[in-house]
Structure 1
Amino acid sequence: AARRTPAAEAAAAAELHWGRANAHAAHLMQSQIRSLGGLWLKFAHYISERSAAPPPISEQLATLVHAPQPQPISAVVTALTTQMNAEAFSCLSSLSEAPLSVASVSQVHMAWMHGGE
């Protein structure tokens, strides 16, 4: 077998080092972004689709594409009452507890007005 040159050995060692560093960074990023949620999940999705990102990072961040968790209905009601005026909010007779859809920066609920609409 041919002996590798010192330059080839250094390149192989650097590749191994960067592979380990990227894998470690990917794990840390994935964990932190999952806990932060929201716009950070959008960031993870964006980075995971870029060819410039090292494969360990893009692969870990790709696992977050379907990670959004629904907010509890109490948080939804709080958001609605603080962002809508009282008159508009009082038009609602009920709100579905379970969301129809959940995304990284939003979720959708059914709401009914007093007239049944």
Structure 2
Amino acid sequence: MSQSWQQVPPPQPPGQGAPLPTPPVQYPDRQSLQTQAIVQIVIGAVCGAMIPSILGIIALVKLDEPTTARALVKWGWISMIIIAALIVLVFLVTLVVPLVITLITVGAASAS
């Protein structure tokens, strides 16, 4: 005759139910990372910069891995800065350089 023995948990004191599950571990800057990722998504979508938006979405998905989420948010901001610098550079090249060339040629024509 085979009997299966089960281990019985110790009895709870009267008036107490089952122990509550422990809440998930929260790290201090989770809310900050979440806010930054959402800002990256919105600014990237409004300005047409899809790389920061994509990095922000992935950072939101990876919020349970703080190191990965922090790196994604950091690279999202870096890519946003690079894209903004490229926009300023294109603006300068397309508007300011032709204006300077025009002023130089007009000045040279009036001097002769």
The answer to whether TM tops 0.5 is no
TM-score, normalised by the number of residues in structure 1: 0.30
Structure with max Cα Rg? 2
TM-score, normalised by the number of residues in structure 2: 0.31
